[in-house]
Structure 1
Amino acid sequence: MVRLLGIDLPRNKRIAYALTYIHGIGLTSAQKFIELAEISADTRTDDITTEQAVVLRNLLENCELNLEGDLRRFNGLNIKRLNEINCHRGKRHRNSLPVRGQRTRTNARSRRGAKKTVTGKKK
């Protein structure tokens, strides 16, 4: 099992897809890291040698991208700042509503949670 940046990469997956389990690395950047480390794209996570893992670890630690904990902290602080200045986006985050202008009369179930049925007014 390969461990990079505190993340255990899944076994028996191609290395490009395994690297996407690290927060902040998508498929495109994973493929670039693999090319820089001179690892074959067909290599599975289990088949990586210790030397290749060390090269990959050094590349990830020395890159200029915010990855894993730093990126999560950065995003969390941005949301916290929006809440503190009491802007519209901050209020939407605080109330667990969609932030980017999506409709909420219907849909938005994943953000708002399960339906809460309100009974109609009796005559």
Structure 2
Amino acid sequence: MVQILGNTLENKKKVYIALTKIYGLNKYQTLFLCNKLNIGKDCKVKDLNQNYFVKLIKLIEQNNLIVENNLRQKYRSDITNLINIKCYRGIRHIQKTLNRR
């Protein structure tokens, strides 16, 4: 098993499918990253060495993809901004949290 950006990728899965476990990456983006790194669709996680994963992280940073904690933080700050300006969507978030109590 390989750990990348805080997620454990299973060895038996294909690379482009296993990378979708990373929060913020969808199938299209993972296929794009695999094509950039010349990783075939049939390649499995266990077939790759550590250099590919280092290149993968660098490629994510180069393409300015927001993933994991940064994306969660941005999402949270957007919701708090909606709540602060008291727009309809922000009010709905407030009502949702009040109903949970």
Relative to the length of structure 2, the TM-score reads 0.85
Aligned twin of 1:19 = 19
Task: State the superposition RMSD in angstroms.
Answer: 1.9
Q: Give the Cα separation in 2 of the matches to 1:87 and 1:11.
A: 46
Could you list the per-position Cα deviations for residues 24-80 of structure 1 after superposition, in whole angstroms to 9, with x for gaps in the alignment?
110001000001111111111122112222221221233212111111111110001
Q: Which has the higher contact order (CA 8 A, sep 6+)?
A: 2
Structure 1 stretches of at least 4 aligned residues deviating more than 3 Å after TM superposition: none
- Identical columns (%): 30
Q: Is the Cα–Cα contact under 8 Å of residues 2 and 53 in structure 1 kept in the other structure?
A: no
Aligned twin of 1:49 = 49
Q: Which runs of 5+ in 1 are unaligned?
A: 98-111, 114-123
Bigger helix share: 2
Relative to the length of structure 1, the TM-score reads 0.71
CA apart distance, 1:11: 3.0
SS in 1 for 2:21: coil
Q: Give the Cα separation in 2 of the matches to 1:18 and 1:68.
A: 15
| Rg larger for | 1
Aligned twin of 1:62 = 62
